[in-house]
Structure formats: structure tokens, C-alpha cells
Structure 1
């Protein structure tokens, strides 16, 4: 101080004043700088601080207080920087360590409310003279927004790059959510895809969960977003308002805040990305919408890329398939004309097995040097010009044969439009060239054909014409224009029907043609009527669309033919046909009625005779008389059946009745039937059945038996001496053949077809009396019906062979009928005692016969005379079986059957039809109603018993038949008295059936002998055979 005072003492007053002024200026300057620093300190946007090494702020400015969210500087000065500001001690130490670094790292710090911000700390250490840290001072800058911007930029860049690296959408969606998690809360987030067609949403990825199956979009908030096509940020209050308004429905738990952005691809919403928070309603801000928009665009870009790649792969595959399936060689080369690839046709033509054998090679490797030079020159010229060279033809020698080839080459460009090679095609057009030659020839021939067609058209007696769309004639043939009194078709061309006919006719014609041209449907074989000089003319016309080479209708083509005379002839023919049909119907009706009228009394005759035959007290003569009655009745029945069969055949109403039967037994029956007669005629009758002929077959037994009987009977009838040989063979699977060979007189060749016609017999040789002349005609028709035939081989004087073949099917050996013939029914089984049976018939004798046959067997029987009584009887008595006639007064059997079934309920009644009706329509109608079986009158009792058992379910008790009928020894012609012989021959010559029967009975009584042969001849009405027997 003494030194300083001495300094001032030595100064002058002026010097002191100057010095004082300088100090004042210094003080002022210092005060000004302090105020300036204070202003900067207090008004800085960045936080400024001083802090000690112990973690306490010494000085802070207002900006730092506000940055950290404290209420005052004093409050901030109280916190512990190490524990309350930094997230951990390492972050604090890291900040201090970086004070000397030029580049600062960002650090996280807590605000008062616990939220985190990012800062950069620009601080320095302040040391004392000893080098110890006195305090820290520095500036803290809030870089949260910068950090978020950087993070957003990084996240978006990552999302964008990953979309190109990974094509798996599921992985990409998961990656997006993970990246978004760096920026915002994604703990409850999902990506949804929308199916507009099905109105469903699919969520393949939910944060932390597996995807969800499709579910209806309904009124979900996601659906609301998708349909609105705009981003949506709503909180729970707004959500509830939407629910109340009915615009959306709550699905699951309500979130406090919900953020969604639509996924839009090519201006079509395909889904949405959604974030939601169940805890923090401030979890998302409006600024997050832009973030999600970008993410949405990247997802859509990835989907678009994936679709494009898939489509590109498909296109590539389709292109490859197209290339490999076209019959043209396709190849592509680089600038050096080295092959880069080719299609299958190229490989096949050049005998390569795969594309690798071609790639990298040039034409010099595959062709001779001269051709290869040409190909290379073409390649170079195409690449230099940059223009395609199309469809140029060259002729080559391939395998010694001249072939024409057409080639096209075009330059191959890269993305910068630089030529990098060529694409070429090559096609063998030798066939096309040859086709062109043929086409020229065809055109020449077509021209000739056109001329020929014109000549044909002009020489056919049918009018032909063709018109344009306005129905103007474009042409016609000679017949057409001459019919209109024109001299050439030129007088017709250009005219319409209005120029040639009345307006009424022309209007009809025009409307027809418009319809044909509009629909493209031809109008064929329609009739047109015109009046010419008061005479009605009828034409058969055809009109069809006239089309060009493009199949476009340009008019119509028509024909018209005068059929007036034909129509008149057809009308006459129709009238004649109607008359013939009416006559045939009358014949059929007559035959049917006659059949019924004859069968009805025949039923009584045969029925009573069968009853009488069972009487053991009959004398031998009575037995023989009854036998004659039966055989005569059966013969008459056979004649009726022949006539009726012929009538059915002519009417086309005959049908097969297939059943299982013993074919071998049928042949035995035929042999037994003719054995005596053949022996008496000194004819050697033999039957030979080959081993492979089945014993039991399924076919029409009746018709087969009828044909064989007819053929064998004819053979014996027309053979005076010698043999008749019957042989049966199997000519193939399902076809049997019966050959009947005789040594008779034979048949003239010109008569061999005649004998198969109805009512015709051969005229050569001695005429044979007897028969209707229907046998062979019926036999042939029956064989045709069985898909077979009857064929004749014969030569006059050398005998004949009739071959009968027919179809059959293998059958089980069910021959119950044959067994029944060996057994005799003696009663009902215990289970069927007093079985109720009703007999319904309008004829007393028919009812009486059935009653007398069935009553002894133990049936409980009641009877009715017509259908009305039958219905009443059923209602009261409920019979188990009904034997029903068809043709009856008051109510017929068909109506009765219908009514009985209507009222039967659960009662299982069996209706067995027993009728003489010959009409198949009646048979079919009653069987369709549910009848059990149809039996024709006259009734063969064994057949009735069989059907009662087989179809009616009746159980019988049987015993072996044991009849002892003494057969008289067969007599010879020499044993017949001369007077009786003359009487019988005279009666036979006159064809007197009754007298012959009476004379035969007298002869039997007189000689006490049997004459089976004469009896058979009388019953068969073969009277000439009787005369021949006596002559022998």
C-alpha cells in the first residue's frame, strides 16, 4: 500500500484526473460486460449451469429450470445431479469425460415428472492453482427433437431397405413393428388386411401374438377406418361417441387412445396398420400419423413388389411354356452371336437334349461354314441397323431334302436402349409352301366346281335362290326364273318378293327372312301355300342364313319345291293307312273277344275233365273219353293260341316272359311227345345234346318249347320214312342252337321263303292236311324276339334242316315246378290250416271247378260273382288270397283290385288273377296295381298250385303220385276190322272230328286195344296221317 500511495503522491493533478478517468472507464466497461453476461445467462434458450464435483448445481439459468421441468432455480439447486438427473452414474461420468471432446454424444436425463429428454452437455472443468477441480460449468442443449428426427430417419430407412431385402411379408410386418417400437408404443399393435369381396378382415400379425383368422369386418373400428379411407386418431371419449351413434361396435376391450392409418395400393384400400394403448391416452400424437403413413406406404410398396414379382414369375413361366410349346424355333444371342438361350422346338430340330448344350455356342458350332457366315452377317446387320428383319425365306438342304425356312430377327435392347443382342425365330414352312401350291390348284378346281355347281343348280327340279340382307335377289337357278316366266336370272337379280308376289305374301316372306337373319337359326322343311290360276299350290321350303368368310350373316339362301302332288298322294296314303289300322284294330279286338269267349267255356271243359280224371272209380273207357276231351280241348286251345300269337306279333305286342327252367327236361318232353308217332311211322327219331349245353337256363320256356315242337312236328309230318335228328349245341356264350334234320321230301328253293309267311305251306309233293299254316311264321317271329332266328337248308328230294338259335342266360337250378309234377298235393300245412281264399268269377262253372279243386285241400273258401261283391266280401271277411277274374259285369276285376288295395291298409292280401283275357293292356294294368301273378284260363291246376306256393306263400303237404292206369297194348292197322277201317278213313277224308272220336271209341271197345297214334292224329286234326296209317 505504501508503494501504491507513493505512486499516487508523485502524480500531478492532471495525471491523477486522467488516471481516475481511465479507472472509471474500466469499471464502467466491467459493469457493462457483467450486465451483458447476465443477460445472456438469463435469456439463453440453452441451459447454463455451474456444478460442483459432489453433484450439486451452484448456478443455473431459467432456461435449464424450464428444460428440466422444475418450478424454480432453488428447487433445481436442491437436486442431486448424479441420482436425480441422470438415468445412471455411468451416463454422468460419460458426460464429464467428454468435456474435452469436440464431438458430443447425446445423453438421456430425467425431467422432474420422470419423463426422459435427450441432451448435449457442452461443459468444461474449472481448476484451482493446485490443479484440483473447483467446479464444472457449461451449456446443456435439449436435442430430443433432433434425436427423434434422427431415430425416425433411421427407422424409416431401415424399414425401406428391409422391404427390398426380405420378400416374406410376415417377417417384414414383424420387423416394422419392432422398428416402430424404437419411436412409439407398439405393445398393442397389429396389421390388418381387408377382403372387399368377402367383407372380412385378416390379421396375420399382432404384436407379441400369432395372427388371427378371418372375421367379418362388420362395424369394427378397423372397418370404420378402412371404409373411411383416412387416418384416424381417437381417444376413448370419441370412441364411445362413435359407439353411441351406431357407426362402430366395441370388439374386445376399449383402448384409451387408438391410432390407425389405411394401407392403400393403387388407390384401393387393402388394410390398415393400427396402434393402441390401454393405459396412456397421450401415447400417440398427430405427428405420429405421418410416421404411420410412411410405414403404410412401405408396406404397400412391399406388397406391390411381391405381387409384381409373383406376376413376373408367372409371366416368365407362362412365356417359357408358350415358347416351349409353339412349333417355331426361338433363340436369343448376345452381340457376339453366342446363344444365350432357346426353346424346346430349337432343341428338338437340332437334336439337342437340353439348353446347356446350346448356350455359349455359335452357329459355327452347328452348321456348315457358309451357312454360319450368312447367319452371322444377318445378326450383325440387324444389330447395326437396330431394325427387325422379318419373314425372309431361305431354301436349305436338310438330310438330303429341300426345305423352305422363314426366319425373323430383331434387335435386343437393354434398359438404356443399347443393342445387346438379337432375338430370332425360325420356322420350317415347306408344308406351307406346298400348301400354297395346293391352294392355287384348289382355286382352279373350285372355279371348275363353281361352274359344275351352276350346271347342277340349273338342272335340278327344285327352285334355288339367294338374297342379301334387304331380301333383294342376288341370284337363282334356272328352275326358279323359268317358273316366274323369266328368260334368265338377270331378270330376277335386284328384285324383291314385293316385285314378284302380292304384298300380303311378300310381307310374310320378308318377316320370315328377317327372323332367320336376326337369330341365325335356319327355317327348314316348312310349307308355303300359293294360289296360281285358282289352284292351290303347296311348296316345301328351306331358308338358312347366308354367311361370309367371317361368319357374318349377309343374307339368306333358300330352296322351294312344289310338293302339291306328293301331298295329295300322302293324304290318300294316310286315309288308306287309317283304314288299315282300323281294320287291324277290329281284327285284334275280334280275336281278343273270341279268345275270351272260347277260353271261358274251355276253362269249364278242361276243368271238369281234370276233376273227373282224378276219380278212381272211372272205367277205362271213361278214362279214355276224358283223355280225348282233354286233348281235343288242348288242341283247340293251341289253335287259338297260334292265331292269337300271330295277331300279337302283327300288332307288335308280343313280349318275352323270362324264367328259370330245365331245358333238358323240355327236350325230353318233346321227345316223349313224338316218340310213339315216330315209331308208328317207322321214323328213327333221335335227340343228341352236346355236353356243354347247360341243363337249366333262363329264357322264355313257353316260346322255346313251342318252336321246337313245331319244328319236330313238321319234320315228322313231312317225312314218310327215314329219320328225324334233333341236335342241340352251344354255338357261343349265351346262344344255343337246335337243329332239326329230316330225310323227308325237301322244299323247293323258291318256296323256302314262302313257308315262313302266315297261312302258307309248301306245295310240292303230296299235300298234307291239317294245321293252320302259322307254325313256322310264329316260330321265326319268336326266335327273332329272342335275338335269334330260324334258318332253313333244304333240297327237293334230299330232306331239310331247320336251325333254331336263341339267346339265354345262365340260371340257378330252380325247378320246383318239375318236382311238383312228381308230387301230389294232399292238403295245407299246419301253419296254413283254414287259410281264407276268395274265388271271384262271373261264371258258375269256373267258380265251381276252382272250389272243387281247392276245398279238399283244407282252404276256407267264399265266392263272389263280380268285382262289387268281391270288394264287399273283402271288407267283411278279409281273405288272405283272392282268385280274381278280369272281365265281369257290374265291376270288373281291375277296378275291384284297385279298390281292395286302397282299403287293405296293413293287411297283406295276395290277388292272383285267373282270367281268359287276351289283352296285354289289361294284364299290365292289373299287374301294375299290385296283383301277385296272372294265370290264363283254362287253368292248369298244377300251375295254380305252383303259383299259390311260389307267389302266394302257401305251404302244402305232398305225397308221391301213385296212379295205376292199365295201358292197353298198342294195336297195328292189320288188327282193325275192315268195315271199321273204311268208316274211319271216310270220316278222316271228310275231316269229321266228332264222328272220328265216336268211331275210335267203338274201335277200342270192339278190339279191347289202344290206338294212341290214331287218337293223337285226331286230337291234332292231322286227318291225312290217319289215312296214311291205315294204308301202311
Structure 2
């Protein structure tokens, strides 16, 4: 193993127009044993790097003449400097700033004001990786004349990519499992005020949004690594389209847009293709259509070609801002956004790139027609196979307990992260399972031996002994215990490896409660007690047996109802909620129902309910 400790051979170039930063970083890194040079301008940095002096560059973004982005672009375009790791060091802290930095080839991003220990740790790590890379390159170069050795090196590189993406996926998705999981636990507390419930809803929505951004970046990484595969399954296309319609109907209503799905009678109900990828493509395209259409209509059309019995066509048309001819040429490039998209300051510029890759994997391609200020039409064809009828999903109701008079199953939670253990333990105990915890594979084996759990929820990446080794040990001695792996990986090859190691099943994290209860019921044959289904909207509002006017006007003046109607017309959620605080506590059912309409952006229904007082 080569010595990777800092030496004078490790040369660090610092580029920053703030002299205090240059002096501080230079002094600290010099003390650590590195050779350091500092410059204030990007042109000087490029010249020094091209001379072959720098092993790593700490690069500011906002500088005179040439900013940090352009410096990095030029360095990465030059074969002589493209391999030098660039760590951006900037006060810019927006997601798009960081995405731009990484898309240009930066290996890391540190936000000012920085912590000295953080800078040292990241510099040390990337220099170690560079030195290791140099050693590997030297070893490979010595064998370039042997074709078999070169092929083996390529396979090793692909394997390293797969391992890296698996690890980084785990590190990103695991904390999100705890965040989203604890929100689900807290939402079970019926004593929470409406304000706290709304705050939990916002946290959950924000967590899901962050998870979507993480998934986009990881999906692009999978594509670039050549790990994207088509995973066909049999599913109900009509049901999937219904779910998409429900997802976007409220979003469209909130912007006063018409949202229409037009499906040809010839479109088959049951098909075989990659359901997850098709659904994601439709969501990506429809989300853009709704976001960039200020008024008018968004239409999804689905047609089936009778002459080509295995081809189905999807078309998304909007009446939005449109796309210029220049922007159409780079529309599907990763990290590229249109001018309207950049002004919205949302998204990563990855959705269309991922969508095209998915469609091409399913045998088609995406085309787009657009006229500025008149709208856009995205179309794609994919190839499908005939499917078989599938049973409808059971109604998803909240599980609140286990059927009485039956012994409670024992479940062992094996997870090295305290927050994830707490979430699972509290959730399972809340329903009535007996639960014990283990922090690694060794402890899991001891508890399995002494406690004999019926089911084990096994994390796979843990210190001391990982979940793979623990699973193999337990399964060699006891085939009856059910082991469900908890994994952040979505690579098909990884799933096959997990199941071949002895796990009976797996769940991707973060997961929702319903999936967990279904898995446990499948293997342990338990029966649950469910919370009562929520009453219908009319029942919530008391409209089945009681007129809204008679309930509210009995205690609220007509001016109050007029204000409610006015704020609903203006879609002013904040003022509506302020008005609801004036309603006496005995009418909380009506208040909660109207608040739910506000949460779902159903302002037109509130307007209809208050029309009688304004005639």
C-alpha cells in the first residue's frame, strides 16, 4: 500500500481574490506539510495548472475577469489539466450553484464561511484519492500492451462505480428514511393542533422534494455508469393513469388550469413494460407542463397504433410559455434549463435528460414541438407487450393495532443508526409487536440466538459485522426466521445479490408504513386493526344532514361569510385560515373540513359553499 500522507509533493493551488482567505488557507495548509501557492486571478491559476505544478485546486467562484466556473471549464477542457481535482470554495449556497459546480467537473464544494477542520479533511481525502489514482494509472499503464489486462481493469472500474453508487445511495437515502419516518409517526398524534399538523405536512413535502432531487442525481450517475436496465412488469395502465390524474388535478386547479387526459378506446388496460420508468417520464413531463403554463390547459393524450400492435404513443400538450429554437437544441442535456426554468429557481435540469434515457430504454424517443408564448407538445412512443389482468390493490387504511387474542410476533430491528432504529421500534411497538434492537450484525446474531425473533428487519451496511454476513450466519442455522433487508440501493444487480445472500425479501428506504405492514402480513400472516376510514367530504362539512348556512350563520355574521367567499375567490389560504380561527370550538368539524379544502387547493368548492350568502 503506497504512503498517501501529505508531503511536499502534494501541491495545492489556492485561487481567491480575498487576500485574508489566501493568507489563512496558505498558512494552515503549509503547516500540514503541503506545498502551497496562492493567486488572486483565474488567468494566473490556469497558467500555473498548465505548467504542471498543481495537484489540487481550491477555487473561489466570484472573481474579477474570469470567474471560478470559467476557470474550471477551461481546466477540464484541457487534457493536461482535466484530472486535477477542483474543490469550489464559495459563499454561494444555493442548490443550483452547487449543481453547476459539480456539472463542470468539481469534485467537492465548501460553503463560506468555512470550518478549518472541514477544509483540511476534504483536501486530505481528495489528495489521497488523486495519489491513489496516480498509482493505479501507473500500474495500468505498465500493462497497456496486454489486452486481457486492460479488459480486467475496465471491469474493475465498473465494479468500483457500482460499489461507490451503492454506498453514496445508502448515505443519502438513510437519513431521509428517519426524517420521513418520524414525520409519519408524529402525524399519528391526533392531539396535535392544526398548525402543527400543517408544519408536519410541510416537513414531509420538503423531505419528499429533497428525496426527488437526490434520486435525480443518483439516476444520472447510474446512466453514466451504464447501470440503467429495463425492468418489465405486468400492470394496470388505466389505474396508473388514474393515479397521475389525481396527482395533477389539484395542482392544475390551484393555477386555474384545465387538466385533461384523453385515452383512445384501443389503448389496452393491462400491459408489460417498465411501470416505474414510464410513470416517472409522465410525471416529469406533466410537472413541467403545469409549472410553465400560467393559463389555459394541459392535455395528456394516449393512443394505440393498431397497425403496430406493440406500440403506444403518449403526448403532453400545454398552452404555456413555450421554448425558443436555440433552447430546443440542448433541451435534453443534463443540468441544462430553459430561461424560464432558470428564472423559476427550481429543479435540477435533470428531469428531461432522465426521461429521454428512460424512453430510449423502452424502445422509443422523445420529440418536442414548441412555439414561444403558444405552448409546447412533447411526444414519445414506447414498445409494450400484452399484459394479464391484475387484482385491484386493497384500500390503504392506517394500521393502529394487531387483532386481539393472538400472540404478538417478535421483531428484531438491526440498524446501526440510532434515529432509524427509534423510528422502526416506535412504529412497530405502537401497533403491538414485541421489538428488540441490535446495532450491528454480531449483536443481531446474539439476540436471534437468545430471543428467537419471528422476523428480522436487517440493515445491510453496518460496522463490526454487516447485514450480509449476519444473514448468512443466521440462515445457515435457522431457515424459519424471516429476514427482510433494508437497503437504499435500487440497482437490480444489487437486489439479486441481496436475495442470494439469504434474505427473504427487501424494502427500499425511505419506505411508507403501508409497505411495511404488507410485508409483515405476507410473511407472518398477522391481521391488523385499522383506523376508521375518513368520512366523505359532505359528511365532514355536515352537508348530509345540515346546511352550511344554518350551521355557520347561526354564530357567524353574514359579513364573515362574505369575507370567506372573497378570500376563496382570491385563493388566499392565509386569510381563510385566519377567518376560521374566529369560529367557536363547537363547530370544529366544519372548520377542519374547510381547512382540508384549503390544504388541497379546493378554493372553488369553498366558493360554491358560500355562494348562498352573496345572492
TM normalised by structure 1 equals: 0.37
1:789 maps to what in 2?
365
* 8 Å CA contact retained: 2:250, 2:600: no
Counterpart check, 1:897 vs 2:471: yes
- Name the counterpart of 1:800: 376
CA drift at 1:615: 1.6
* CA shift in 2, pair 1:776/1:950, >3 Å: farther
CA distance in 1, matches of 2:283, 2:206: 17
Please give the residue correspondences for 1:667-682 in structure 2 after superposition, counting only pairs within 5 Å.
Answer: 667-682=241-256
Inter-partner Cα distance in structure 1 for 2:250 and 2:341: 25
How far 1:948 sits from its partner (Å)?
Answer: 2.6
Please tell me whether residue 819 in structure 1 is matched to residue 380 in structure 2: no
Which structure carries more strand by proportion? Answer: 1
Aligned to 2:299: 725
Q: CA deviation at 1:605?
A: 1.3
Q: Tell me how large the CA RMSD over aligned residues is.
A: 4.1
Task: Measure how far apart 1:867 and its partner are.
Answer: 0.9
**Is 2:226 aligned against 1:648?**
no
Q: Is the 8 A contact 2:252 2:290 kept in 1?
A: yes
Cα deviation for residue 736 of structure 1 reads: 2.7
From 312, 323, 327, give the equivalent of 1:747.
Answer: 323
Structure 2 residue 232 is matched with structure 1 residue 661 = no
Q: Distance in 2 between matches of 1:581 and 1:958?
A: 51
**In structure 2, what is the Cα distance between the partners aligned to 1:594 and 1:1006?**
47
Structure 1 residue 606 and structure 2 residue 146: aligned?
no
Provide Cα deviations, 1:224-263, integer angstroms capped at 9, x if missing partner: xxxxxxxxxxxxxxxxxxxxxxxxxxxxxxxxxxxxxxxx
Of 488, 491, 496 in structure 2, the residue corresponding to residue 924 of structure 1 is 496
**1:898–1:929 Cα contact (<8 Å) kept:** yes
User: Of 516, 525, 532, which aligns to 1:944?
Assistant: 516
- Residues 754 and 951 of structure 1: is their aligned pair in 2 closer, same or farther, counting only changes over 3 Å? farther
Query: 1:669 deviation in Å?
Result: 2.3
Partners of 1:970 and 1:704 in 2: CA distance: 41
- CA 1:618–1:963 in 2, change beyond 3 Å: closer, same or farther? farther
Q: Which moved more, 1:762-771 or 1:692-701?
A: 762-771
* Counterpart in the other structure of 1:683: 257
Size of the alignment, in residue pairs? 421
**What's the offset of the Cα at 1:856?**
3.7
Q: How far, CA to CA, are the matches of 1:706 and 1:877 in structure 2? A: 43
1:772 to 323, 348, 371: 348
Residue 203 (structure 1) aligns with = none
Structure 2 residue matching 1:754: 3-state secondary structure: coil
Go from structure 1 to structure 2 and tell me whether the alpha carbon gap of 1:802 and 1:958 turns closer, same or farther (over 3 Å shift). same
* Partner Cα separation in structure 1 for residue 526 and residue 376 of structure 2: 49
Q: Which runs of 5+ in 2 are unaligned?
A: 1-140, 542-563, 582-593, 602-615
Evaluate the alpha carbon distance shift between residue 954 and residue 888 of structure 1 in structure 2; reply closer, same or farther with a 3 A threshold: same
Aligned counterpart for 2:311 among listed residues 721, 724, 735: 735
Q: What does residue 622 of structure 1 align with?
A: 196
Work out whether residues 568 and 576 of structure 2, in 8 Å CA contact, stay in contact via their aligned partners in 1. no
Q: Work out whether residues 914 and 935 of structure 1, in 8 Å CA contact, stay in contact via their aligned partners in 2.
A: yes
Q: Does the 8 A contact of 1:596 with 1:918 survive in 2?
A: no
Give deviations 1:520-575, integer Å, cap 9, x for gaps.
xxxxxxxxxxxxxxxxxxxxxxxxxxxxxxxxxxxxxxxxxxxxxxx99x99xxxx
- 1:852 is matched with 426
Spell out, residue by residue over 1:575-621, the C-alpha distance to the aligned partner (whole angstroms, 9 max, x if none): x9999999998887665544323322211111111011112212111
Question: In the alignment, which residue of structure 1 is the partner of 2:30?
Answer: none
**Structure 1 unaligned blocks of 5 or more:** 1-566, 977-999, 1017-1032
Mapped to 1, the partners of 2:235 and 2:360 lie a distance apart of 20
Q: How does 1:821-836 map to 2 (within 5 A)?
A: 821=396, 823-828=397-402, 833-836=407-410
Larger Rg: 1
Call closer, same or farther: CA 1:661–1:938 in 2, change over 3 Å. Answer: same
Matched, 1:872 2:446: yes
Contact 1:971 1:1010 (C-alpha < 8 Å) held by counterparts: no
- State the Cα distance separating 1:647 from its structure 2 match: 0.7
Q: With structure 2 as the length reference, what TM-score do the two structures score? A: 0.60
Which whole-Å CA distance do the structure 2 matches of 1:970 and 1:892 have between them?
A: 60
Per-residue Cα deviation, 1:331-380 (whole angstroms, up to 9, x for no partner): xxxxxxxxxxxxxxxxxxxxxxxxxxxxxxxxxxxxxxxxxxxxxxxxxx
**Equivalent position SS for 2:322:** coil
SS of the residue corresponding to residue 390 of structure 2 reads: coil
* Cα distance, 1:887 vs structure 2: 1.0
The residue correspondences of 1:266-665 to structure 2 (distance < 5 A) are: 592-665=166-239
Q: Distance in 1 between matches of 2:385 and 2:340?
A: 40
Q: Deviations over 1:786-809 (max 9, x none)?
A: 223322233444422112333334
Which protein has greater RCO, CA pairs closer than 8 Å, 6+ apart?
2
1:763, CA displacement in angstroms? 3.7
Query: Using the alignment, how far apart are the partners of 1:696 and 1:955 within structure 2?
Result: 30
Query: Aligned partners of 1:668 and 1:582: how far apart in 2?
Result: 45
User: Partners in 2 of 1:928 and 1:948 — Cα distance?
Assistant: 20
Deviation at 1:758, TM superposition (A): 0.7
Please give the per-residue CA displacement for 1:419-475, whole angstroms capped at 9, x wherever unaligned.
Answer: xxxxxxxxxxxxxxxxxxxxxxxxxxxxxxxxxxxxxxxxxxxxxxxxxxxxxxxxx
Where 2:184 maps in the other structure, the secondary structure is: helix
Q: Offset at 1:785?
A: 2.0
Residues 19-70 of structure 1: CA deviation (Å, up to 9, x unaligned)? xxxxxxxxxxxxxxxxxxxxxxxxxxxxxxxxxxxxxxxxxxxxxxxxxxxx
What CA deviation, in whole Å up to 9, does each residue of 1:392-439 have, x standing for no partner?
A: xxxxxxxxxxxxxxxxxxxxxxxxxxxxxxxxxxxxxxxxxxxxxxxx
Match of 1:913 in 2: 485
CA–CA distance in structure 1, aligned partners of residues 341 and 520 of structure 2:
50
Contact 1:894/1:925 (8 A) holds in 2: no
CA 1:604–1:918: 2 relative to 1, 3 Å: same
Deviation for aligned residue 1:921: 5.3
SS of 1:755's equivalent in the other structure is coil
Q: Report if the CA contact (8 A) 1:933-1:951 is conserved.
A: no
Cα distance in 1 for residues equivalent to 2:303 and 2:518: 31
Distance 2:422 2:240 in 1: 32
Q: 1:951 to 1:814 in 2, by over 3 A?
A: farther
Aligned partners of 1:887 and 1:917 also within 8 Å: no
> Which residue is 1:757 aligned to?
333
SS of structure 2 residue aligned to 1:671: helix
Alignment of 1:21-32 (within 5 A): none
Task: Specify whether residues 652 and 854 from structure 1 end up closer, same or farther in structure 2 by C-alpha distance, changes over 3 A only.
Answer: same
| Structure 1 stretch displaced more, 706-715 or 945-954 | 945-954
Does residue 283 of structure 2 align to residue 697 of structure 1?
Answer: no
- CA deviations on 1:805-844 (whole Å, 9 max, x unpaired) are 333344444345x3242x3434445796422322111122
| C-alpha deviation, 1:719, in angstroms | 1.8
Q: CA deviation at 1:975?
A: 7.1
Task: For 1:158-177, list aligned pairs within 5 A.
Answer: none
Residues 227 and 491 in structure 2, CA contact (< 8 A), matched pair in contact too = no
